[in-house]
Amino acid sequence: MDRLVIQGGHPLRGRIRVSGAKNAALPCLAAALLTPEPVVLSNLPAVADIRTMVKVLQALGTEASLASEGEGFELTATLACAGSEDPKAPYDLVKTMRASILVLGPLLARFGKATVSLPGGCAIGARPVNLHLEALERMGAVIEISHGYIHASVKGRLKAIDHTFEKVSVGATENILMAAALAEGTTVLRNAALEPEIGDLAQLLVEMGAQIEGIGTGTLTIVGAARLHGCEHAVIADRIEAGTYLCAVAAACGDVVLDRCEPEHLRSLLDLLERTGCVITEREGQDGRQLRIQRECGQKLRSKDVTTLPFPGFPTDLQAQVMAVMTQACGISVINEGIFENRFQHAMELERLGANLRTDGHTAIVAGPADLTGCTVMATDLRASAALVIAGLVAQGETIVDRIYHLDRGYAGLEKKLQGVGARIERVGGGKV
């Protein structure tokens, strides 16, 4: 099993190119089920979750090919879904990735039936699929759950609804948005999630021929089409990957430019890091927007409190990374996890490295700055893995991060990108994504 070996205490200097957003790419891949015509998606991150989703689509009757872009950190997928007589997303693929539930809406909308295994993914708390199922049932679907599978069918086309989500849900918004694109009539989705990845999916659907109003707002209006067509689409940059590298520089110090990112997608993190004392500059680059972060070695960080909230609030997917930063800040930081109830599993591993913190329910209290020293730690989920890497970049001596298959689900070439800006980090174990 692969692991990362990190020699800490070295500042980061140079440039990093941000890959495409995993959380945008996955629903965009699922959207290819909505048409028999070819859909070409570029700027997909070369991570395990993308390859898994492509395998799910192939199991559902999609012809799919993947080609590497540039340095191999991005992929282009060419997809054409003829469909199958019995569309089924099997457990052996779905168990590793929660986003596979996103095939349910498109399959029902286009083929009128679907069998999808209840999903897996990171063990960061309950993420029930009831919000997806309730909306699809309102659209006319008959749904039964048995033996770990969702069995769904509809007579004719799904019907448009005026629906208010009980709570903000990214996955449910994406699933029902795709289903509505082929539903009969005009669907209105209220209390829809605002994440940029949803806007990217909506833009893809528009390019496929869908009529959608309210993109980027909490109310989406979708006029269902009888048929969608193929297109070419480049997914947006990964704000979580960009945020992870920003946190790495904030913790380990240095001067790094991030190429191809969107500052507005990271505003809550940028504001936080500036208040800790980091200097952040936004500018136009040859390949999109750039961010430069500077923290001089020896410069003290100021502690700040954080509460995770749905976008545009502070993202839960950056909570662990910010906790690693706050171990190096002067004072007390209070971190409230407002999204998931089990997302402090990295805290114990940070303590092994020397962090001074404690957790109580949804709250973590971090006292800093702490003198971190290297040891062996174990990754428990995707973003926890990133937090441990950041802590390892700070810690004196050698840090070994085990179980990095979690990391490989969401970061393309993380150790290589960090090597490019001066980090002493290497992968050992011989495995490959």
> What residue type is 372 in one-letter code?
L
DSSP code, position 317:
G
Half-sphere exposure of 404 (CA within 13 A, CB side): 30
- Alpha-helix residue ranges (DSSP H) falling in 112-149: 130-138
> What residue type is 358 in one-letter code?
R
Provide the pLDDT for residue 121: 42
In the chain, pLDDT over 90 holds for what percent of residues? 82
120 pLDDT tier (thresholds 50, 70, 90): low
Provide the pLDDT for residue 430: 53
283 pLDDT tier (thresholds 50, 70, 90): very high
Residues 403, 256: Cα–Cα separation, whole Å: 28
Active site residues: 122
Structure tokens at 412: 């393309």
Provide the pLDDT for residue 231: 98
Provide the pLDDT for residue 85: 79
Residues 365, 358: Cα–Cα separation, whole Å: 5
> Taking all residues of the chain, what is their mean pLDDT, rounded to a whole number?
93
Provide the pLDDT for residue 63: 96
* Residue whose C-alpha is closest to residue 24's, from 52, 51, 3, 43: 43
Residue with tokens 């012809």: 63
Tens of pLDDT, residue by residue over 310-335, are 999 999 999 999 999 999 999 999 99
Coil vs helix vs strand at 21: coil
- List the domains of the chain with CATH numbers: 3-18+237-428 (3.65.10.10), 22-234 (3.65.10.10)
In the chain, pLDDT over 70 holds for what percent of residues? 96
Cβ neighbours of residue 411 under 8 Å, at least 6 residues apart? 45, 47, 241, 244, 386
Tens of pLDDT, residue by residue over 42-84, are 999 999 899 999 999 999 999 999 999 878 899 999 999 998 8
Provide the pLDDT for residue 431: 46
* Residue whose C-alpha is closest to residue 377's, from 358, 402, 356: 402
Tens of pLDDT, residue by residue over 345-384, are 899 999 999 999 999 989 999 999 999 999 999 998 888 9
